[in-house]
Amino acid sequence: MLDRPAASSDFSTEALKANLQRLQREWDTYQSTRDRDAIYGYLTAVFELVTVWAHEGTAVDYARWVLWLRGHRSAVVSPEPFAAVIFCTADRKKADYRTRSKWSRVLRYAAEYKDLDEPLAAYIKRKGGINKCAGRYTRRLGRYSRTEDQKASNLRAVPELSAQ
């Protein structure tokens, strides 16, 4: 992947850079306050940008493009969009790998289950906070979630156990 990843022509490089700068300003605002709820402004900005991309069906392409613009020309074929945007806009010294991963899980959980009319901050708080939402993602959608085949085999196994 030597050239810039392909992206649709309706979203220019300048527009993408402007969105990244806006997210970095949100990050700076979050860092400049001691308000514990300030993180929600940054996460909401990331959430809104990536969900627009997802609605257009271009989230992975734009995530790859964001990484490329920031000088991360890795061989990642299919980056997770929330994680890529957080990686490129948050200070890596203040938001380590685990924190960025947790925030990405929270945003993926919200993208899957949040109603359109509910603010992101209200949704996350209603579900128990950032840590609880990250845990919910892992249980329901992440690597520890059970596949449909596993669920079906567990349902078939239950009568067999009771017969013994």
Return per-residue pLDDT of the chain as tens, 164 residues. Answer: 334 444 444 568 899 999 999 999 999 999 999 898 999 999 999 999 999 999 999 999 999 999 999 888 776 788 999 999 999 999 999 999 999 999 999 999 999 999 999 999 999 999 999 999 999 999 988 776 665 445 444 444 444 433 44
The pair of three-digit structure tokens given for residue 145, joined into one six-digit string: 């979630």
∠76-82-88 over CA atoms, to 5°? 70
**The predicted structure's pLDDT at residue 113:** 95
Amino acid (one-letter) located at 125: K
Q: Per the structure block, which two tokens stand in for 125?
A: 């708080």
Delimit the domains of the chain by residue range: 13-163
Report angle CA 145, 54, 128 to the nearest 5 degrees.
45
- pTM here is 0.80
d(CA 31, CA 86): 14
What is the Cα–Cα distance from 53 to 76, expressed in whole angstroms? 18
Instruction: Name the residue among 137, 124, 139 with its Cα closest to residue 47.
Output: 124
Rounded-to-10 torsion of CA 17, 66, 9, 59: -120
Contacts of 159 (CB under 8 A, 6+ apart): none
| Whether 123 contacts 110, CB under 8 Å | yes
